[in-house]
Amino acid sequence: MSTPATSHLPTAVITGGAGGLAQAIAAELLSAGFIVLAPGRAELDVSSACSVRAFFTALPALDLLINNAGVFRDGPVLKMTEADFDHVVDVNLKGAFLTTQAAVKLMSKQRRGHIINIGSYSALSGPAGQANYAASKAGLIGLTQSTAKEYGARNIRANCILPGFLETKMTRHLLEDAAWKENLLSAHALGRLNSPQDAARFIAFLHSMENISGQVFQLDSRVRRSV
């Protein structure tokens, strides 16, 4: 009697694993049958090449990388310090580059893989007071598209998600300001926001669509005219 072949369990890594969105994505992927690793900064500091190298070298396989780690240090350009600018770019953009580079090495050997970068609407709108954050997230779109073009022949995909404003522990205090919340909702055609679970479901669905790569997906209802 032959022994049934063990099916491949896909492995996903979610950076910035302690955040609300990361936890929602982890739950969604676990329910879809993934092995999920969602390291926090203590386990994986994406801004450190040594930390990234050590983490990814220990992985036997990798099917999905979600670059979710991110920070912001808002302020007007004239008051923004060089340290604040560098820190945001180092985590949000350079961090995604370092993890993408490590992931591509694994995925190239497998001849399969998917990288999803968590971007922001700020990349498109460039809000006042977010020069560093907007620049880092705009760069993430370029990184996504270049990666998709470079590694498509090896069956590696790259996409970017703009999940919209999500209510998490980090943002909940902003929504307690009634005037601020009203202004935010008025910018949305539907007058409502996504939850982390909404974004997580889309991410799981996107991963299942094997012929999509190099795309940017805005998940909320803010309407912006293309130029």
Domains (ranges, CATH) in the chain?
11-218 (3.40.50.720)
What are the pLDDT digits (tens) for 179-215? Answer: 999 999 999 999 999 999 999 999 999 999 999 999 9
Distances in Å between the Cα of 25 and the Cα atoms of 66, 145, 196, 208 are: 9, 22, 8, 14
DSSP state of 14: E
Residue 227: the pLDDT is: 58
What are the pLDDT digits (tens) for 141-190? Answer: 999 999 999 999 999 999 999 999 998 877 888 888 899 999 999 999 99
Least confident of 3-17, 33-47, 120-134, 166-180: 3-17
Phi-psi region of 158 (alpha: psi -120 to 50; beta: other; left: phi over 0): beta
Alpha carbons 114 and 209: distance in angstroms, whole number: 11
Quick one: which of 215, 212, 206, 203 has its CA closest to 27?
A: 203
pTM for the whole structure: 0.92
42 φ, ψ to 5°?
A: -65, -30
**Among residues 72, 133, 151, 165, which one is catalytic?**
133
Q: Do the Cβ atoms of 176 and 167 come closer than 8 Å?
A: no
Give a three-class secondary structure readout of 112-158. CEEEEEECCCHHHHCCCCEHHHHHHHHHHHHHHHHHHHHHHHHCEEE
Alpha carbons 135 and 98: distance in angstroms, whole number: 17
Query: Active site includes 133?
Result: yes
Alpha carbons 59 and 88: distance in angstroms, whole number: 27
Residue 226: the pLDDT is: 66
Average pLDDT over residues 125-147: 94
Alpha carbons 174 and 167: distance in angstroms, whole number: 9
Burial of 8 (0-12, 13-18, 19+ CB in 10 A): exposed
The band of 7, judged by pLDDT with boundaries at 50, 70 and 90, is low
Alpha carbons 187 and 22: distance in angstroms, whole number: 25
Burial 162-196 (b: 16+ CB within 10 A, else e): bbbbbeeeeeeeeeeeeeeeeebeeebeeeebbbb
What are the pLDDT digits (tens) for 34-90? Answer: 999 999 999 999 999 999 999 999 999 999 999 999 988 889 999 999 999 999 999
Residue 194: the pLDDT is: 93
